[in-house]
Structure 1
Amino acid sequence: MYQSTMDEMDGPEVKIARFSSCRGVAFEINPNRTNPFAIGSPPKQEKIGTWLWLPWTRTSSTKVHANAPSPSRSRTSSHFCDIDVDAYDDDINVEFLVEGEDIEKQDKGNGIKVQKLLPKADLNGSSRLSIILLDQGFTVYKLLFLFCLAFNMVPIALSAVGLFNYGKKRATLFSIGNILALTICRSEAALRVVFWFAVKTIGSPCVPLIIKIATTAFLQSVGGIHSGCGVSSIAWLVYSLILTLNNKEETSTEIIGVAFTILSLISLSSLAAFPLVRHLHHNIFERTHRFAGWMALILLWLFLILTISYDPSIHIYNLTISKLVKSQECWFTFAITFLIIIPWLTIRKVRVTVSAPSSHASIIKFEGGVQAGLLGRISPSPLSEWHAFGIISDGKKEHMMLAGAVGDYTKSLVTTPPKHLYVRTMHFAGLPYLVNLYQRVLLVATGSGISVFLSFILQQPKNVDVCLIWVAKDIELNFGKEMKEMVSKYSKDKMIVHDTAIFGRPNVAEMSVEGAIRWNAEVVIVTSNPEGSRNVLRACNKANIPAFGPLWDS
């Protein structure tokens, strides 16, 4: 997979630099680029057969350069936010670059000297896992994870040395309490309420910007609490089992067996969520996390019934409703069960219209308008898999989702479009929803990442001034005329659209910084692949501009 560029249009030599992306990590061996940000500065390199479309151009144009190579057309994208899309047969999550060296050869057809730059080993140490985990530095997500872990490890240690007797007596309650906390942090219903409350309370112009930024950072990173409480619940359960085994006469074999099974299931679920497994084998992670969690919840109810009804003095089970009602563990478990069931009660099978503007993406249309900033989930089979997408809606009669052809399912939407899909009618809030907190926001999107922002362009909320930078390849060809028209209706003074088929790959980070300064944005929100998002965030932070992008577990 090579993309050719010419150093000098009249020169005899063409350099071919390799661009590669895998689940959104785009590697470029020769990263020298010009900055296309300045309005009215046409690119020096023009390509054949592609429309030059920028918001400030009054007419479209096509120009042919005598010696210019034909533009490479988009192939199947390996990530819905890729700028330039490359073909991969498998939905792999990590790419390892092998050692290579420059090779020069003579093109016999036209006598042009071609230099291929083969991939080098571990380009700047970059891999998907290193970018999403290590290169992000010490994030709020990691801070929340460590805080939750320390918040639990300290009382466990104090209990073990006899300085916290309540923890020693109620170790099981602490374990269930952590499970309740992690469930809340992943409950779409609970988070929808929290996000709504945050926007309503601190979305006012009179609230200091620093409070809004801190709130955004916290809400975006609640997954750190989820992970921290997951590990802590295992630690408390292990501690509880150790105490139980030291006093076997006060319990039964059945209770110990069920407790060990619960511990095994929770541990399995946590291991499946480990980044290496999650990103290399996402389907395994999703199904293991779901079904192991459900089984652990069922066994937790059995565990509570057994422990509450067991009388160690006579070794007999005697269950009464009053004992269950008085148990704190029972109420915690009831809350966990309620939060888990809520999304499944909103599942509906609905009629959809699926169109494919290209082989790289599909547009799924539903009835009913949706508020800007919300996301939705769809599934061909509710128990097996769910896929989340940004929602595009004018807030009136219909809404749609733009699904990049990444994995087997999203590719099937293009090849065999369904007439019905299962949906969760309760849409959930994420980082895009927090745009409503601010007064002036710059949205930066690459590829199909535009889908999470388009509702703000269509609905144009009065309380927030939205500006947009969109970088994509062959926009009309890949995303369709309808998508292009949606964007073109927005104010040209608040938007930059860069087609990489015309201008090549830009420095999106530099564009974002200059855009934020130009539009005096309070915050920058980016949706791109991991490397692209990281570069934008770093550039903005270096320029003291608040910026947010998708996390590794988004």
Structure 2
Amino acid sequence: MSSQPVPSVPAPAYDEAEKGALPDVHSRPIEISFNDEKKDLTVAQVLPVPSEKKETLASPPPKPKPGVYKYSKWVIWTLWYDMYRKLFTIVFSVNIILFGFAVSGHWSYAYKYGGAMAVGNFNVSVLVRNEIFGRCLYGFVNFCFAKWSPLWWRLGCTSVLQHLGGIHSGCAVSGVIWITLRTVHVYVNHAVYPNALLAWAVIANLALFITMVSGFPWVRNTHHNVFERWHRFMGWSSLFASWIFVLVGDLYDETTGTWNINGVHIVRQQDFWYVMGMTLWIVLPWICTRRVKIDIELPSNKVAVLRFERGMQQGLLGRISRSAVKEYHAFGIISEGPYARYHYMVCGVQGDFTKSLVNDPPSHIWTRELKLAGVSNTSTLYRRGIRICTGTGIGAALATCIQSPYWYLIWIGSDQEKTFGPTISGLINRNLGPERYLLWDSKVRGGRPDTRKILREVYDSWKAEVVFITSNYQGNSEMMRACKVEKIPCFGTLWDF
């Protein structure tokens, strides 16, 4: 790619090239040919006229910029109302219908045992976010449906697995509503219940409400550290408060007005086992937390490449932190295979955490040895596919293309070899033939390409079944819309973990 002539116009900065689809009038995607387009331009000419009357012909109207498209509201709506929101709608609607029966007096069980309904929802909410459960679920789907099942079924499996967060959010919000109902029931019948139960009902409600609000998309995406700290620590406080609330409620017999401190009585209560299960799902991933040795390569002031010992399968994300319990950050894992000597993470220098990796590189870091399955883990479901990414998205994309010869890599970045260093370039050169990747240097070529045109051409020539996208918010939106219009099945980046 580097043998092509360099455009004569100044190239935009690295950060500008990553913001979205910048027009590129100097190149032709895929064929990578650069024509002298100056010959096609009509230059304004000044014609000789009498001195008393000078006229200059107006310049022709500017040509439309390539790669800039307008999309219908229907396309935008269908992408916004994705499987995440569909699953949330289903879960939340079912709970609201049941809640309506309870408050209207048509389902006395749910009204009386609102606590059990709440912790039941919290159980499912925590379970679908559990790394162990997720890995088992991904492994089951990949084992049972890879390649032979209809494409629509495989796409549906990938969509549901990628958007399990919709179930997580739907059950969590519903659980807060149910525990509020339980609190109202306790206060309406305050003469029957002890003051301790009334107090812990309020504490549990408040802790759960703060946990829920801190997980809203706006907080999660714009104030990540706030989300991490409040969602985690208030979540643990909620678990503790829920335990006390459930135990106090189970130990007190409202019919006799006495305390029944009997272990047999407690273990027969359904909400006790719900809270026990919720505790187990929360604790299990932390058993896998370890402090491990790392080496950090700093090829530029924009990127840190972390090297860990042992190989990994493709499609995994690793959570890392400088502290055992404070905020964890998820990054894609690059590895040549499960039996490789090393695996890598590419960390773009943006927030405080990633800046600290450059300014004060640690020799050890905390991580969860059991990794989180990402959408790329379902690549084994498909016969052939395309992995397109921008910038540091190579960290989530490269392993899939390295470990499967049926996946094509498109990487859009700025001066990739210099910015990301010899380690990443070496992994590409050693494992991918030139027929299996397209590296687009937006600095050399004057901006980002027409990704819609590239995806259409590669999708047809590669005979792909699906496209996986890893980019920033704007780039992801543009490529998702392009694929939707071109009727190309695709899955993009999520910001909900």
TM-score per shorter chain, which class? 0.7 to 0.9
Q: How far apart in 2 are the matches of 1:300 and 1:233? A: 12
CA distance 1:323–1:445, change in 2 (3 Å) = same
Indicate if the aligned counterparts of 2:23 and 2:449 stay in contact, CA closer than 8 A: no
Q: State yes or no: 1:526 paired with 2:472.
A: no
Q: State yes or no: 1:184 paired with 2:127.
A: yes
CA distance 1:34–1:183, change in 2 (3 Å) = farther
Measured after TM superposition, the shift of residue 18 of structure 1 is 9.6
- Alignment match of 1:459 (pick from 382, 393, 403): 403
Give the number of the structure with larger relative contact order, counting CA–CA contacts within 8 Å between residues 6 or more apart: 2
Q: State yes or no: 1:440 paired with 2:432.
A: no
Q: Which runs of 5+ in 2 are unaligned?
A: 1-6, 39-67, 71-75
Q: Structure 1, residues 281-304: CA drift from partner, whole Å, max 9, x if none?
A: 221111100011101101111112
Counterpart residue type for residue 358 of structure 2:
V
Q: How far apart in 2 are the matches of 1:475 and 1:372? A: 22
Q: State yes or no: 1:476 paired with 2:417.
A: yes
What SS class does the counterpart of residue 191 from structure 2 fall into? helix
Equivalences for 1:59-70 in 2 at 5 Å? none
Q: How far apart in 2 are the matches of 1:21 and 1:337? A: 45
- Alignment match of 2:29 (pick from 34, 37, 40): 37
CA distance 1:27–1:514, change in 2 (3 Å) = closer
Q: State yes or no: 1:420 paired with 2:361.
A: no
> Which is worse superposed, 326-335 or 275-284?
275-284
Measured after TM superposition, the shift of residue 417 of structure 1 is 1.3
> Which is worse superposed, 307-316 or 477-486?
307-316
- Alignment match of 1:351 (pick from 287, 293, 297): 293
CA distance 1:376–1:247, change in 2 (3 Å) = same
Indicate if the aligned counterparts of 2:88 and 2:167 stay in contact, CA closer than 8 A: yes
Equivalences for 1:283-432 in 2 at 5 Å? 283-395=225-337, 396-432=340-376
When the two chains are superposed, the root-mean-square deviation of aligned CA atoms in Å is 2.6
1:488 maps to what in 2?
429
Q: How far apart in 2 are the matches of 1:225 and 1:355? A: 39
What SS class does the counterpart of residue 417 from structure 1 fall into? coil
1:511 maps to what in 2?
454
Q: How far apart in 1 are the matches of 2:10 and 2:420? A: 29
Q: Which runs of 5+ in 1 are unaligned?
A: 1-7, 47-122, 126-132
State TM-score, norm by structure 1: 0.77
Measured after TM superposition, the shift of residue 45 of structure 1 is 9.2
- Alignment match of 2:487 (pick from 526, 529, 544): 544
Counterpart residue type for residue 166 of structure 2:
G
Paired residues, number: 454
Q: How far apart in 1 are the matches of 2:440 and 2:13? A: 21
What SS class does the counterpart of residue 483 from structure 1 fall into? helix
Counterpart residue type for residue 412 of structure 2:
V
Indicate if the aligned counterparts of 2:132 and 2:285 stay in contact, CA closer than 8 A: yes
Q: How far apart in 1 are the matches of 2:443 and 2:10? A: 17
Indicate if the aligned counterparts of 2:11 and 2:445 stay in contact, CA closer than 8 A: no
Q: How far apart in 1 are the matches of 2:490 and 2:269? A: 45
Q: How far apart in 2 are the matches of 1:364 and 1:321? A: 50
Q: Structure 1, residues 57-77: CA drift from partner, whole Å, max 9, x if none?
A: xxxxxxxxxxxxxxxxxxxxx
Measured after TM superposition, the shift of residue 536 of structure 1 is 1.1
Indicate if the aligned counterparts of 1:352 and 1:419 stay in contact, CA closer than 8 A: yes
CA distance 1:156–1:211, change in 2 (3 Å) = same
State TM-score, norm by structure 2: 0.86
Q: How far apart in 2 are the matches of 1:15 and 1:39? A: 23
Q: State yes or no: 1:214 paired with 2:156.
A: yes
Q: How far apart in 2 are the matches of 1:40 and 1:527? A: 23
Counterpart residue type for residue 503 of structure 1:
R
Query: Kindly, what percent of the aligned residue pairs are identical?
Result: 32
